[in-house]
Amino acid sequence: MGEIATSRRQITLFYSSKSIRAKQTLAYAKAEGLVIQEIDILKIKLTGTQIVELADRLKIEVADLINQEHPAYTSHFEHHNFSTDDWIKMIQHNPEIMKQPIAMRGDVTILVETPTDIIKI
């Protein structure tokens, strides 16, 4: 069992409050009347276990949670193959480089590509 509590009654949304896509997704979800538990990754530090669980739920590697095109990544790091622990630390110290928003409801987890993806969950 994971560390992240989920419910079929609400959507848990991991997002960055600086992200335009996340703001649009939240606005769309609220307009649709969806119950959202908001987790702003810039304000609430994710644990290593939570980061690994998000990657597992998305069926990707932790490294694939990193947006290597994000300016915060390109200004601090070069493209490398780091260990999983290194990727986790990078996300924890630079949460804005994590791909997001990520929406969870029950056993379903998706990386929101467009704001309307939220209704798929």
Q: Give all strands (DSSP E) within the chain, no chain letters.
A: 11-15, 36-40, 102-105, 108-111
pLDDT score recorded for residue 90 = 92
- Give the Cα-Cα-Cα angle 17, 112, 59 (nearest 5 degrees): 115
Q: Are strands 11-15 and 36-40 parallel, antiparallel or unpaired?
A: parallel
Give me the pLDDT at residue 6, please.
79
CA 103 to centroid of chain Cα atoms: 7
Task: Report the C-alpha gap between 115 and 52 in whole angstroms.
Answer: 24
What CATH number has the domain spanning 11-120?
3.40.30.10
pLDDT computed for residue 1 by the predictor:
40
Binned average pLDDT, 10 residues per bin, the chain of 121 residues: 77 96 95 94 96 97 92 80 91 95 95 93 87
pTM of the model: 0.91
